[in-house]
Amino acid sequence: MRKLKHLATLSLFLVCLFRGGPANGKVYIDIDSPAFQKLPIAIADFKPLRFAHGKSDLSGWFADALSRDLLLTGYFNVIDRRAFLEDPGQAGITEEVTRFEDWSSIGAEYLVKGGYQMDDRELVAELRLFDVTKGALVVGKKYIGKPDDGSRIVRQFANEILLALTGEAGVFDTRIAFVKKGPSASELYTINFDGSDLRRITHYNSLTLSPRWSPDGRRLAFTSFKDGNPDIYLQDLEGGKSEKLVSYPGLNLPGSWSRDGAKLLVTLSREGSPGIYEMNVGTRMLQRLTRESTINVSPVRSPDEKSIAFVSNRNGSPQIYIMDAEGGNVRRLTMEGNYNTSPAWSPKGKKIAYEGSVNGQFQIFVIDEEGGLPIQMTFERGDHESPSWSPDGRYLVYSVRGGGRNRIEIINAGGRNSRVLQEGSDACQSPFWSPRLR
C-alpha cells in the first residue's frame, strides 16, 4: 500500500513532553465511560500556504472531510462553522496567533487548524490540534503526499487526534470484509471504516462465505463452493494470488488466526459431525480440539490465546462455550436464550459479543467472558448477525437483514451511535474487521 511521509511539526519541547505518555503525567479522556459526553471540537477552514496551482480551493474541503471522519467515531460534537468568531482572513494556524478566547466563548474544548500547499506533483498539509482551555498545542503533523492523497491525510490525522486524546489511535486505517450475496452467487468485498473505497475481492460466481483476516492484514481466509465442495481458500490481497487451503469432503470453515499468523482454527466435518481443529497453515497439519459427536463450530481465540470460544449444541440448543487452547476444561458461557451463536472475543479481552434469538429475531449481545447476564446491544426489527470487533475494541460491526433491507452496521461498544456502513438490495453478510493496516 502507498505510504505517506509524515513529519512532526511539534517543537522539541512538546515532543519530549508527550513521548512518555501517561508516565509523564498525560491524562487521557475515558471515552468508554458511561458518563462520557461528546467532545466539542471546532475545525477551521484550512489556509492555503501558497497558491494551489491547477486545483480548486481546498480550504473548506479539508475541514469538511475531517469533520465527517470525527463524527463517524461517535465521540465528537463538531461545532457549526457559522458560529465561529475568529476572522478567517486574519487568522493563522499557529498557537501564537490564535485567539483561544474566541473559541472557548462558542463552547469549543478543542480546535483543529491547518494549512496546505499543492502543485501538480505534491500535496503538503500541516494539521494541528489545540486544547482551547489551556491555549496549547496538543499534536501537530506535516504530511507530504500526492495530489490525490487528501483523504488519506485526513484519516491519518483523525487517528492522531484519537491517539492524543485517548491514548489509542483510531481505526481509520482498517477495513471490513463482508459477503455480498446476489440471486445466484455471493462474493467477498472490503470497505473502509468510513464507508469509502468498496472493493470486490473474489470473482468466483459461486457461494462464498466466512471471511477471516490474517493478523498482518495481507490475506483473507474464506470458504467457497467454486469447485463444488465448501473448501477453505487463502487470498493474498496485495499480490492477488489465491490458493486452496483445506478441501476435505464435507464442511470446511475458517475460524480465527493465531497472532503470529502460523495457525488457523477451522471447523471440519471430515470425521462426521462438524468439529474444531487447529491447523498449521504452512504444513497443513491438524490438531483436533473437540471430539464430541455433537456439532461444534465458530471457534474464536481469546486475545491471550489461552482460551477458545465456540458454539455447540451438546446440551440441545446452540449455545456458546469456552475451552482452553488444547480443547480441555469446557464450560458453558451463555445461559440465557435458546439460540446463541457467532461469538466474537473483544481484542481488549473480558467481553464476548454474539448473536442471540429474541422473539424470533436475532439481536447482538455482549457478555463477560466469565459469564453472567448478557447486555443487549441492538433492538431494531430484523436479524442482527455476525458481530465482529474493531481492533481497538471500541466498535462492533454486524449485518442486518429483514423488511427488504440488507446492510452492514457499526455501533459503538457502549451500544450507541449505530450507523449504516453499506446497504443495498443484495444481502450483506458476515462482516469481519481487519487489523490495523500499514
Residues 245 and 324 in one domain: yes
Domain membership flag for residue 438: no
Query: For position 243, which CATH number holds?
Result: 2.120.10.30
Residues 209 and 160 in one domain: no
Query: For position 65, which CATH number holds?
Result: 3.40.50.10070
- Final residue of a domain: which of 119, 146, 166? 166
Query: Residues 212, 222: contact at Cβ < 8 Å?
Result: yes
Distance CA 309, CA 321 (A): 6
The whole-model pTM stands at: 0.91
SS3 114: strand
> What residues have CB less than 8 Å from 335, skipping those under 6 apart?
371
Residues 85 and 204 in one domain: no
Residues 239 and 158 in one domain: no
Q: Is the pLDDT of residue 137 over 90?
A: yes
Q: What is the pLDDT of residues 3-57, one digit of tens each?
A: 455 444 433 233 322 333 333 446 788 887 778 899 999 999 999 986 544 455 7
Dihedrals phi, psi of 13, to nearest 5 degrees: -60, -45
Which structural domain range is residue 94 located in?
5-166
Residues 189 and 162 in one domain: no
> Which of these, 277, 275, 272, 298, lies nearest to 287 by C-alpha position?
277
Q: What is the pLDDT of residues 186-244, one digit of tens each?
A: 999 999 999 999 999 999 999 999 999 999 999 999 999 999 999 999 999 998 899 99
Q: What is the pLDDT of residues 401-433, one digit of tens each?
A: 987 779 999 999 989 899 999 998 888 999 999
What are the CA-CA distances from residue 10 to residues 68, 201, 228 (Å)? 25, 40, 58
